[in-house]
Amino acid sequence: MGAHTTVEFDGRTLAYAEYGDPDGTPVFGFHGVLGSRLTWALFDRVARRAGVRLIAPERPGFGYSSFQPGRSLLDWPDDVGTLADRLGVERFGVVGFSAGGPHALACAHAVPDRLRGLALASSVTPPSTHGHADPFNYAFLSATRLVPGFSQTAFQAAAWLATHSPAQFRASIVGTAAAPDRALFDDAVGDHLVRDAAEAFRQGARGPARDMPLVGEDWGFDAHGLDRPVTVFHGTADETVDVEMARAFAEDLGDCDLYLTDGAHYSTLVGNASALVDAAL
Question: What pLDDT score does 148 carry?
Answer: 82
Sheet holding 25-30, edge to edge: 5-9, 12-20, 52-57, 25-30, 92-97, 115-121, 230-235, 256-261
3-state secondary structure of 58: coil
Q: Partners of 8 in the beta sheet? A: 13
Tell me: the pLDDT tens digits for 41-63? 999 999 999 999 999 999 999 99
CATH code reported for the domain at 5-280:
3.40.50.1820
Question: What pLDDT score does 187 carry?
Answer: 86
Q: What average pLDDT does range 117-125 have in this prediction?
A: 98
pTM of the model: 0.97
The DSSP output letter for 227 is -
Q: Please state, in angstroms and rounded to a whole number, the distance separating the CA atoms of residues 62 and 84.
A: 19
- Sorted by where each begins, the domain ranges of the chain are 5-280
Q: What average pLDDT does range 255-276 have in this prediction?
A: 97
65: confidence class by pLDDT, cuts 50, 70, 90: very high
**Nearest of 203, 226, 220 to residue 73 by alpha carbon:** 220
User: Is 11 in contact with 62 (CB distance < 8 Å)?
Assistant: no
